[in-house]
Amino acid sequence: MQYITGVHALNLPCSLMTCGDWHCSALQWERPAFRDSANSLFGDYGIERCGAVPEHAGEYAVANHIRALLDLLELGNFSAAQGMNRDFIGNDDYNAEVFAKVVLMSALPHWHEIDRFMGGEYYGKWLEYKRRTGL
């Protein structure tokens, strides 16, 4: 399924109790970032319907905020995902879900960068999760 993701999805509403991003008007909306869920480790996880895409009529499949951030990590776009924990998600209730999904990327060639990024975002919570799960 084709869906909007990345920074564009972070600037659209979703069903989660997350902050998302707040730079909607600064983005170029003519061609938002699309991906195909069939080409992702996460399949259709976290993809919702959204009818509030600027400069576009109708409904679109859109990554929720967590899925958009996971996609950024999967692509190695750490600069766009910077602030994942405090700025974009801002809700510890999702930590276990986020961590379980991030671990799915452990076979990727850039796993060490993902792991370092998660340590910088979640500090001891990520280290404790890794210790408990034997990662």
Per DSSP, 26 falls in state G
pLDDT of residue 23: 66
**How confident is the model over 28-65, as pLDDT tens digits?**
778 888 999 999 999 999 999 988 888 888 999 999 99
Its pTM stands at 0.93
Per-residue pLDDT tens for 95-118?
999 999 999 999 999 999 999 999
Instruction: Return the pLDDT at 62.
Output: 97
Q: DSSP assignment of 35-96, as one string?
A: EEGGGSTTTTTTEEEES--TT--S-EEEE-HHHHHHHHHHTT-HHHHTTIIIIII--GGGHH
As for how many domains the chain has, the answer is 1
Domain that holds residue 32: 2-133
